[in-house]
Structure 1
Amino acid sequence: MSPYFDNADSVTFRKREKLVALLGRTDTGKTSTFNLMTGLSQPIGNRISSTTHQCYSYSNFIDTPGFGDTRGGESSHLSLIDFFISLSSGIDILLYFVRYGAMNSTDLDLFVDIYKRILSIEAYSNSCLVITDYSLPNLEQVNTNEHEERKYLLKQLHDNDKYSYILDKFDHRVIFIDISPYNYKRREISREIIDKFLHSFQPIKRFNCQNLQDAYRLLRRTQEMETLCLDLKTQIDQLTTQNQHLTHLYEQQIRHCKDLEESYQRSTKQLEQIHEQTLLTIENNHLITIEEMKRQEFRIRDEVKQVRHQLEEIEREMDRSITFNVFSYIPLIHIVTNIIELNTKRRITQRIRKTLHSKKKGL
């Protein structure tokens, strides 16, 4: 017995009644319809995440996790396949849910993904399109075959390539329901419409869930590959972060080198300016020194001329008064000569005395 079965009575009941599985993306009304048909009160999800995280069965209905759930991912798909494989007798009817007027490219891609990766094209013949949130007043008419309003509405849907693709795959099997919690009457009408369809629809054969083994293995392998890809992505992100850090350091070094180069150029320019100023100063000083030396040379020449002139004057003066000068200095010369003689005699006398004194000591 599958762990998803709620009790043994439901399994026995499925052997006698058509087994119906509710499929579709998150927040398309699967669980609300499940509650409507079974009388249960399972929690209802929203447009972002589903409250149904695994298959839940009651009576002959199976509620499945919403596809496109941001939290379930491939795990929900594996849970669905695992549950279907456990149904050895297969499934009679697959109800695929979409919202009225809200079908977009993402919904269509999800539908194709479900029937190609999880189920198979064989499931088309057992499937029916259920359009929820149909709020127009002609609910019963659009669910009556050959009614003009149904034909008109189907034509409108066929003009939309997204709806027409599913309708063609399901051989135009479609029902419209309104399960709004605020309108009890329309909910009851919707329940009767579903019940009537389930009793009238006779699939050629049950959908054999055992054929999903390959899909299960492929999906499991896909999940492993996705996990590996996530690990690789994490490593790539880490390497990218390191690369960004190294790039930042490299850019800093480049800027630093540029700053050093600019500083070197400024210093070189300053040195060249200083060198030029020094050469100019030396040259100016040299010119000043040469000029000063020339001026000094001229002054010395002038002084020499003056001295020569004075000497010449002295010589002329001496020539004129040579006789007078000689006779004028004779007395002075005589006095000096006498002084020298006296000093000489005194020194000789002192030496003689010293000699005699030395001889006396020797005796």
Structure 2
Amino acid sequence: MPPYFDNANSVTFRQSEKIVALLGRTDTGKTSTFNLMTGLSQPIGNRISSTTCQCFSYSNFIDTPGFGDTRNGESSSSHLSLIDFFVSLSSGIDILFYFVRYGTINSSDLNLFVDIYKQILSTEAYSNSCLIISDYSLPNLEQVNINDSDERKYLLKQLHENDKYSYILEKFNNRVLFIDVSPYDYKRQEMSKEILQNFLQSFRPLNRFNCQNLQDAYRLLRRTQEMETLCFDLKTQVDQLTTENQHLTNLYQKQIRKCKDLEESYQNSIKQIEQIHEQTLLVVETNHISTIEEMTRQEFRIRDEVKQVRQQLEEIEHEMDRSLTFNVVSYIPFIHIVTNIIELNTKRRITQRIRQLLHTKKKGL
């Protein structure tokens, strides 16, 4: 079994023979044809998945992984596997065999062809390419591969009526071979091998397909892969930021609700304070009115007493005028009068003090 090559510079090709690369969708007969031309027995895939996972070479033939492998899809990683090999292949390629199955080509196959030649290789590769239609099971296998034969002309006319075949044939200038590499028919295998060998001997491309032309596509796909990784990382960061933003939004909403509760509590407290203040003012005012009324009554009583004392003083003066001498008993009413006068003055001072205090309290409220 030949080795797998990570670096095609380690591959030594026979310079006298053309370097041939086999391309196409998964399970179109590439590895079977590779085994037929090299005499090897590489594992063969099926219609679901490809067995060939890396490019490898033997006897100037290069087998490549099948495009459209259902295990990997038509992702850029499968393209890069091919480009990594071709870019490092400094000697270039003489012939590119592009494989399709007979009678099964569809829009997906045509899109894959366009993708390979425009995005992976280049349009310059058309002049080095040949269409290989595998699984051609009709009896006239030999006749349809003879130039200018009626069978070949009729078959090519039918193919050109199919816009998908016609597109590829026009790009390849009608270079097409029909082969049948079925493992159950040794004779048709040998016939197919001879058809391929005759074409390799007769076809002389103007120039080798220079694999350096793949550099732009190589950088583009590498950049695409890097961008896909970057986009994935950015998406992860966006998801994290979205989660954090949702968390912050929830916290913000909680704080808003808390602020509203505090504001409502504050308003209730203000109302309660206003009610208490009104009640306090009412009580103070009521007490003040009661105090003033009581003081007014006391003032009236004091005035009455003063009036009585004055009357008594007047009577004493009259008595003194009538009598030049006094006895001890006459001093008793006088002492009583003096006492009342002192009490009256004291009550007046108390009244003034109370009024000053009430006036001060009223200003403070």
**TM tier, shorter chain?**
0.5 to 0.7
Q: 2:44 aligns to what? A: 44
Contact 1:4 1:57 in 2 (8 A): no
Q: Compute the displacement of 1:22 (Å).
A: 0.1
Larger radius of gyration: 1
Q: What is the distance in 2 between the residues matched to 1:147 and 1:238?
A: 68
The one-letter code matched in structure 2 to 1:51 is T
Q: In structure 1, how many angstroms separate the alpha carbons of the residues matched to 2:241 and 2:184?
A: 54
Please, which runs of 5 or more residues in structure 1 have no aligned partner?
243-363
| 1:11 counterpart = 2:24 | no
Any unmatched runs of 5+ in structure 2?
A: 244-365
Q: CA RMSD in A?
A: 2.5
Deviation at 1:42, TM superposition (A): 0.7
**Which residue matches 1:62?**
62
* Corresponding residue of 2:22: 22
Taking the aligned partners of 2:26 and 2:7, their CA distance within structure 1 comes to: 22
Q: Answer whether contact 2:65 2:78 (CA < 8 A) is retained.
A: yes
Is the 1:25–1:66 contact (alpha carbons within 8 Å) kept by the matching residues of 2?
yes
Aligned match for 1:79, one of 81, 93, 105: 81
Deviation at 1:87, TM superposition (A): 1.6
Counterpart CA distance in 1 for 2:210 and 2:192 is 29
Deviations 1:54-102 (Å, cap 9, x if unpaired)?
Answer: 1010001000000111334322211211111112121000000000000
Query: Structure 2-normalised TM-score?
Result: 0.61
How far did 1:234 drift?
7.1
Q: 1:134 to 1:63 in 2, by over 3 A?
A: same
Show the counterpart of 1:95. 97
Distance 2:182 2:241 in 1: 51
**For 1:205-284, what aligned pairs fall within 5 Å after superposition?**
205-230=207-232
2:31 equivalent in structure 1:
31
Q: How many positions carry a matched residue from both structures?
A: 240
> What SS does structure 1 have at the residue aligned with 2:70?
coil
Give, as a single letter, the amino acid of the residue that structure 2 aligns with 1:115.
Y
After the TM superposition, which residues 109-120 of structure 1 pair with which residues of structure 2 at under 5 Å, given as runs?
109-120=111-122
Amino acid at match of 1:11: T
Name the CA shift for 1:199/1:221 in 2 (closer, same or farther; >3 Å): same
What TM-score, normalized by structure 1, do the two folds share? 0.62
Deviation of the 1:17 alpha carbon:
1.1
Distance 1:234 1:149, change over 3 A: farther
Structure 1 CA distance, aligned partners of 2:13 and 2:160? Answer: 40
Q: Tell me the residue number matched to 2:279.
A: none
Kept after mapping to 1: 8 A contact 2:146/2:152? yes
Partner residue, 2:246: none
Provide the C-alpha distance between the structure 1 equivalents of 2:177 and 2:40, rounded to a whole number of angstroms. 22
Describe how 1:101-250 pairs up with structure 2 within 5 A: 101-230=103-232
Provide the rounded CA distance (Å) in 2 between the counterparts of 1:237 and 1:103: 42
Question: Structure 2 counterpart of 1:148, which letter?
Answer: D
- Single out whichever of 133-142 and 38-47 deviates more from structure 2: 38-47
